[in-house]
Amino acid sequence: MCALPEAERGFSRVDAVAMHSGALRDKIHELKYEGRAGWAMIFGRLLVGWMESHPEAMRGIDHIVGNPTHTGRQPIRHIEAIMDAAYTEDVRRAFPLSPPGGHRLVKHVETARSANRTLDEKRAVAAAHAAALTWTGATGDIKGATVLLVDDVFTSGSQLQHVARRLRATGAADVRGLVLARAPWSG
């Protein structure tokens, strides 16, 4: 895979807690599509544990935000639930997570899902997703900031790429990614 220049890909790095396979894949699915909300707490703990064990990757982060789901998503707004759990788990307030219900990146418009689509379709869906996002923090909040964008699964990278570009266009100086699971490369 050829690495894109940073300005084209939008993010400077993407880290993954684990591979998207086996039990982790199944549990993410249970949270996301079956509404088994208890997994959000476990995934929030995993994220905070990763952050604590990777201080070099966390240096200079001004905001940690989830790649949002639509406000009306059913059965659960899984990313928001994971981010709320991460805030609760960060008892020392070591990381710039938003408190539950205070998410800085919000999606008010429903867009198509990217699952089970071709790469070109995923890119189009990702662009629509990014266009539907709003930064709800103070106006100067994001100007010159380094943002850590959190998502559940990294497959093609299209969504993170488009959201990172959107955050940069809004004023972020740097956008990094952190995902619970990265899909194994197929080729």
Q: Are 168 and 4 in contact (CB under 8 A)?
A: no
Nearest to 146 by CA among 69, 88, 61: 61
Asked if the peptide bond before residue 68 counts as cis, ω within 30 degrees of 0, the response is no
Fold of 10-182: Rossmann fold (3.40.50)
Confidence band (pLDDT; 50, 70, 90) for 9? low
Cα separation values, 30 from 11, 35, 111, 180, Å: 29, 6, 21, 14
pLDDT of residue 65: 97
Confidence band (pLDDT; 50, 70, 90) for 4? very low
> How confident is the prediction for the chain on average, in pLDDT?
90
Task: Reply yes or no on whether the pLDDT at 138 is more than 70.
Answer: no
pLDDT digits (tens, 9 = 90+) for 60-99: 999 999 999 998 888 899 999 999 999 999 999 999 999 9
pLDDT of residue 7: 47
Residues whose CB falls within 8 Å of the CB of residue 96, separated by 6 or more in sequence, listed in order: 61, 62, 63, 64
Residues whose CB falls within 8 Å of the CB of residue 84, separated by 6 or more in sequence, listed in order: 40, 44, 100, 101
pLDDT digits (tens, 9 = 90+) for 25-62: 999 999 999 999 999 999 999 999 999 999 999 999 99
Q: Are 73 and 33 in contact (CB under 8 A)?
A: no
Task: Reply yes or no on whether the pLDDT at 17 is more than 50.
Answer: yes
Q: Average pLDDT, stretch 125-132?
A: 95
Q: Are 46 and 85 in contact (CB under 8 A)?
A: no
Q: Average pLDDT, stretch 9-21?
A: 89
Q: Are 25 and 17 in contact (CB under 8 A)?
A: no
Confidence band (pLDDT; 50, 70, 90) for 144? very high
**Residue 141 and residue 132: Cα distance in Å, rounded?**
19
Nearest to 107 by CA among 177, 169, 166, 34: 166
